[in-house]
Structure 1
């Protein structure tokens, strides 16, 4: 690299893992790593202990706005917005944030700051792939949820060249050794579709995301004939022109957004998360706003994201059931159920006296978080959604959002002090 060339550090999502889906779901889904985490809570597997808020069972996770008014986002509450901006302090201009207080579900309160500023979503864009999968299943099997479950549970995915390159480790349950092993995906790794979606959302694996997106394209192309054999998969991607594949990719990522009344100019994932995927199937740009991310979450809580069954499955996939990171790592949220997705993207350039560090870029330092908070878990006097993107240069954005989560949770506790039990 020449001395003139900028030095860049780029991270599309965290190396730390944040597992999702309730741990009693292994039999239902075939996500085998869940059994490992369940055994860990029984003391039979070393480590992997869960915080108090991460121990809900599947039947405790519900769509909390499904039985209430299904109205769109309410008008912005000016008083709460001023309090929100005050929390951001001198760096408020570098943040976009939306907050929806659903603690009184009949009277939701919305606050926002810079809500319509688009930013690269990084790994938060994986929510679009998840949405596309469930929308595609609903279109192929509109009145047959068992058929959708069968596709997710019994369709086997074998990792291929589309996984390259990725640094994220994913968990593998090894029952004969009673241990969870964490490593990168390699070609030949086989698991069901549910497991790959879990790895995509929870461990934020770019390799898993690329395999899921590849198979959503196959699902949309073959319809009810999916899953097809490896030979048919290969023929489709080898014999279809790059232009046709690119068009199919755009339809795969755009149509589900439109079908769910979201704005693709404010909620857009442009393509694959892997270098090989991008080479073989050209895509476009990605961007999101905190307002449209909030609309995604609200539709999910209302059971309107695809349909009620799909909304519930997506919420379960976002439920954190292991080490919490970034915004979700705040100690104030230890007793809360947290439904979460985050993504980061930073760049550094030469600057006298500056050392490039993770999440601390001096040219670009994006940190994006989507969090649904129910506190305390299982009781939930507090229920709120926060979507936030930030670009605060030269500061550790993971720690900054952790502190923001603490201050924001304290604000919510103060607003509902008469109704909130100690956590």
Structure 2
């Protein structure tokens, strides 16, 4: 049993650039044109306000994750000393004007990454776009905005509603993705990250495979041709291409196989078409390396890294770690994931995120406060039989206090 959730992302003024219609809906709420819930203050940044924080000399000096800072490490150890021993954490303070400080706990312990693994699909997408258009980021964005693709059986099953807005009629709804849905690549990507749609993640991973297979023919590829490709290509070959797409970008930035790998599609039907290979695992160290590389502009190239950061920017309801009131005024770039499994146990009743076989809950976050405080945090846990959401929420407040 798996449930993976997220929160809506991308700067609200990004509609013209991306064509993501959800953003136009939020833009109209912000202007007062239509009624709706306003996003928190920290979620109202413009595209122009979002910048990479380590793409200069500070990033050059950070060749690898630093050894723990003694004082920060002592404070982090105190926070986690009374919590479940399964907790793993990494915290990197990159506030301008201060020395870079790092603290960690069990950073090399492997966990099932759950929906945080969709960040590997995101990196794979921008890597494949660079293959198609190595000399033009503008063309990469045009393809994301203009190309619409179908859902098909790849979306089965899915548990997450996606936001759908019709600018002409003003109709807004949240519903499950259907097989006959067609969205642009940008919108599928937004669904994958913003509400953590498993259906959207499988569709985007599929499209990355097609980009690799068809190259310059991809932008005009017809659905019938795509279906034929998956019917006639040996499954072993499909699996090899799939894992290469999502894992090679991680290896390029120095994340090892044991630190983070993705080996299985996010929906059952997609996994029937492209079989799993190699398993999935993640560590707080691997995911911290990912965040650092993104802030340094090293995931594919600086423009791709910046666009990935925009896609991770929260502009709607915040959950778990990101829901802490201490972060209300902060910009938060965030992905959450969970995966749990239950079995019969006397005296225990299973519930959401309360697995007694495994119960993974993970968060990655970049936090930027108006006063300049900036830090990266990765939190992973496997606390059995209880929903750890409130613990993550509380930990975010305590970690934020340390950085202050």
Match of 1:81 among 53, 66, 73: 73
The Cα of 1:191 is off from its aligned counterpart by 1.2
Deviates more, 1:307-316 or 1:74-83: 74-83
2:13 equivalent to 1:31: no
Matches within 5 A, 1:347-366: 347-366=341-360
| Structure 1 residue 167: Cα displacement | 0.9
For 1:217-247, what per-residue CA distance to the aligned partner results, in whole angstroms no more than 9, with x for missing partners?
Answer: 0001111221211121111111112122112
Q: Does 1:113 align with 2:74?
A: no
For the pair 1:343 / 2:337, whether they are aligned, the reply is yes
Mapped contact 1:36–1:179 kept (Cα < 8 A): no
What pairs up with 1:174-253 in 2 under 5 angstroms? 174-227=166-219, 228-253=221-246
CA distance in 2, matches of 1:259, 1:407: 34
Tell me how many residue pairs correspond in the alignment: 399
SS of equivalent to 2:381: strand
Give the distance between the partners of 1:46 and 1:183, measured in 2 at CA: 20
Counterparts in 2 of 1:255-270, with a 5 A limit? 255-270=248-263
- Note if 1:402 corresponds to 2:393: yes
Distance 1:293 1:30 in 2: 29
SS of match in other structure, 2:102: strand
Return 207-216 or 76-85, whichever deviates more: 76-85
User: Following TM superposition, by how much is the alpha carbon of 1:106 offset from its aligned partner in structure 2, in angstroms?
Assistant: 6.2
2:94 aligned partner: 102
Q: CA deviation at 1:173?
A: 0.9
Please give the per-residue CA displacement for 1:7-65, whole angstroms capped at 9, x wherever unaligned. xxx22303xx5100001101101111110011112233332320010000100001011
Per the TM alignment, residue 105 of structure 1 is displaced from its structure 2 partner at its CA by 5.9
1:39-54 map, 5 Å: 39-54=28-43
Secondary structure in 1 aligned to 2:316? Answer: coil
Matching residue within 311, 322, 342 for 2:316: 322
Question: Is the Cα–Cα contact under 8 Å of residues 55 and 321 in structure 1 kept in the other structure?
Answer: yes
* 3-state DSSP of counterpart to 1:176: coil
Q: Deviations over 1:329-377 (max 9, x none)?
A: 111111110000010112223333322222222332110000000012x
Q: Displacement of 1:209 after TM fit?
A: 0.3
Farther-moved stretch of structure 1 (357-366 vs 122-131): 357-366
Task: Give distance in 1, aligned partners of 2:154 and 2:263.
Answer: 16
Aligned-partner SS, 1:245: helix
Distance 1:372 1:158 in 2: 32
Q: Distance in 1 between matches of 2:81 and 2:98?
A: 31
8 Å CA contact 2:115–2:336 kept in 1: the answer is yes
Residue number in structure 2 paired with 1:303: 297
What secondary structure sits across from 2:85 in the alignment? helix
TM-score for both structures, normalised by structure 2: 0.95
CA distance in 2, matches of 1:247, 1:104: 42
- Deviations 1:121-174 (CA, angstroms, capped at 9, x unpaired): 000000000000101111232221122112111111111100000010100112
Question: What is the distance in 1 between the residues matched to 2:324 and 2:108?
Answer: 26
Structure-2 separation of matches of 1:322 and 1:404: 21
Which is worse superposed, 269-278 or 392-401?
392-401
SS in 2 for 1:94: coil
Equivalent position to 1:312, from 285, 306, 313 = 306
2:380 paired residue number: 389
The equivalent of 1:5 in structure 2 is none
Give yes or no for contact 1:249–1:283 (8 Å, CA) kept in 2. no
- Does residue 1:289 correspond to 2:283, yes or no? yes
Cα-to-partner distance string for 1:304-326 (whole Å, 9 max, x where unaligned): 11110000000001001100011
Give the superposed CA RMSD.
1.4
Q: In the aligned structure 1, how far is the partner of 2:85 from the partner of 2:70?
A: 17
Offset at residue 92 of structure 1 (A) = 5.0
Contact 2:161 2:174 in 1 (8 A): yes
> Is 1:155 the counterpart of 2:147 in the alignment?
yes
Per-residue displacement from partner, 1:184-203 (whole Å, max 9, x unpaired)? 11011111101101110111
Cα pair distance change 1:105/1:30, threshold 3 Å? farther
Work out whether residues 136 and 220 of structure 1, in 8 Å CA contact, stay in contact via their aligned partners in 2: yes
Which position in structure 2 is the counterpart of 1:136? 128
What is the TM-score when the length of structure 1 is the normalising length?
0.91
